[in-house]
Structure 1
Amino acid sequence: MKMEDFLQIKEKVAEGYLPQWVITDQEVYSLEQEKIFAKTWLFLGHESELKESGSFVTRMMADDPILLMKNKQGEIKAFLNSCTHRGTKLCTEDFGNKKTHTCPYHGWSYNTNGELIGIVAGNKIYGESMDKSEWGLRTVPRVESYQGMIFGNLDQNAISLEEYLGEMKWYFDIMLGRSDGGMEVTGVPQRWIAKANWKMTSENFNADPYHVQTTHRSAVEMKLTPTDPLYASYGHQVVLSNGHGINVITSATGRGANQYQGMPEDMWPMFEKNLSKDQLEVFSRVTNFVGGVFPNLSFLSSQSGTEGNKYNHLQFRVWRPLGPDKVEIWVWHMIDKALPKEYKEKSYRGFLATFGAAGTLEQDDTENWARIVEASQGRMARDRKLNYNNVVNYLMGFDNMEPDSEFPGPGIAYPTCYTDHVARSMHKYWLELIMKNLEVKANGS
């Protein structure tokens, strides 16, 4: 790629467009791995998944396999899931509890602090010269948590997680810190592979309620969602720092059908104790929170059910890139610890019926994501000279909408969720990271 290609992208993004060729371009994808996924905070899991000393889960940071575990001191540690002897993947289980992880290749073993504690026939074959303390597991450079959510960063010099989340913390406090005891993960995250580009999947959740009425038409016909074509537009789309964004969806009246997303009334005193006045105002009116943390963490706080009643749930999802045209989707179901067991179980069943690999709404989205990839891989769509007016449209609200200064939450809030403000913000931040230091190199410095 040449500097003129990046300048062209920058020009088009500023005008409210995105060149279609960047969606599935292999060179772009390679730059994303280097400049985005190796430099930003990536979601690894929730503290409730690591309940006891020795608990572990295996996760991925883009292409890097990660072993996340709790040591004897109750600290959460993250390591490259690779034996330091020959590089073999150390742990192949998704989760469990172990005091020691032993490599299946040559038997080297490590404790929960990642320290090398055992070498088969060590003294006989290595003598006294080998220092085991130099051969522990390689640590993820930065691991930090917010409201129980664990993130990792491969860049030792990155800004702190809290600084990176910025205004999003205010909204996370509503979703994750509203009740005593916080949230917990139900079961294990679902995982499956889809034909899709990670930018499009992130954008779908973070910035695009506009698709709901058409893509999920079957849900309308089954009377699972309202028939009003504007129903997902009511509320505010909020642009946040660092490419993050959230849609606070309400209704035509400005209030959701059920206060506090239909949560049991005996929970309300907790909300009033744990949240600020402005947070309570937003939470009391919302129907759905849907948004994301750049680059590839999305969330949806909504209600679903299979027995005539709806139950609140919070889902977090990671779009792990496997290439420019493929993602591995990870989805966590989360629920307030303080809720009764029966409520939690019904919430989980409703979630499974609508989201996840077999969910009715999930299948609608997956079909469209595959079609984007299919239509973006040919010669016409990938023409970098834009000979075919080769851009896709992000002009909703571009020059005909002003922010709502009365919205009580942080960020720049626009008075509808049918707008492309968050999508354009994501594209600008994506390009900022992609182009970082490129101009210096182009000048030969």
Structure 2
Amino acid sequence: MPQKGIDYLRKKLVIHKKRVDLRYKQYAMKYKDPMIGVTIPPDIRERYRAVLGWCAKGVDSLADRLVFREFAKDDFEVNEIFGANNPDVFFDSAVLSALIASCSFVYISSGKGDIPRLQVIEANNATGIIDPITGLLTEGYAVLSRDDSGSPLLEAYFTAENTSFFHADKAVRDLTFPNPTGIPLLVPIIHRPDAVRPFGRSRITRAGMYYQRYAKRTLERADVTAEFYSFPQKYITGLSEDAEPLEKWQATISSMLQFSQDEKGNSPTLGQFTTPSMSPFTEQLKTAAAGFAGEMGLTLDDLGFVSENPSSVEAIKASHENLRLAGRRAQRSFGSGLLNVAYLAACLRDGYPYLREQFINTQPKWEPLFEADASMLSLVGDGAIKLNQAIEGFVDSETIRDLTGVKGADYSG
């Protein structure tokens, strides 16, 4: 397959960078939605800009449940490689970046000693040409550092034969290192890939962004309306033309105002405009929350609308069934990407191009999406006893840990 070249990959990254940056701004709650409306002046609306973290909640609700444990049947001792690369930060960073931007990349390089070094690169700084069969890249490109204006300072181009580095400072010599693995040392970690979108789909969907924008507009309107709700507008009719005009602020905060009759014995009439109700905004906000929760597989409780609290893990799992299914799908796609990282890291460590088929028995293990409580432990224990009575040795300590996440005292895994 002919290579596209670094210039093609540079242009490809520029095209996709805007989309990724939008998702990161939405996650960081720094994105400013365009002002829409015909009743509130722009300068007033600007004072009541709403900030809402629903998109961040939608990402974190799944990312916090995806906890990588280890590789089972580790014939090539890849757990040692991940253990030496700060796994508590590495796995969380790779998963979170992939959920926000649809994918993240892991740059594999030689470290001190025999252990390769793993570095997570966000999707707005890396791209490549993917092999749809293996999920590996045929060539890759990454920006390893940028200046304050966002221009690349250090770029890397990955091929099956070499890894090349290009400096923006022409005084620094560009370097090229041979690649002993036969596969580019840039591995994608992809969330929900398919035939149409081989680099996956972001957890922050267009529908999710719409519902959050709709809720922010509702909060802005509610804030402006609250000013009139706190200080209702009043009026006076029948006031003599010779009467001294009222000072507006004094008329608003005074508890007692005095008006005298005119020469004809007529007295002014006081009135108050109808106070706007805040109830429609509450209903609108709840409608937006229900739509966002349905899109993300959450409940209204997760978004701050307190209802009846579930009493057990089973009830929580039942109310988050869509979130559980999304988590299972994410575990499968992320597990494949992490296995590719393990495969290339082992090849680089040993300086030998292993076959991908040799890693078919190595399995990524994840902690359960929902932690077990006492009730669930009791049910699993009763079920394990009955299954082992029917088929001796059917359920062992490893199976129990996969179901509950609890590591037994005699479990050596």
TM-score range, shorter chain: under 0.3
Q: How does the TM-score come out when normalised to structure 2?
A: 0.25
Larger RCO (CA within 8 A; separation ≥ 6): 1
Q: How does the TM-score come out when normalised to structure 1?
A: 0.23
The structure with the greater share of residues assigned to helix is 2
The structure with the greater share of residues assigned to strand is 1
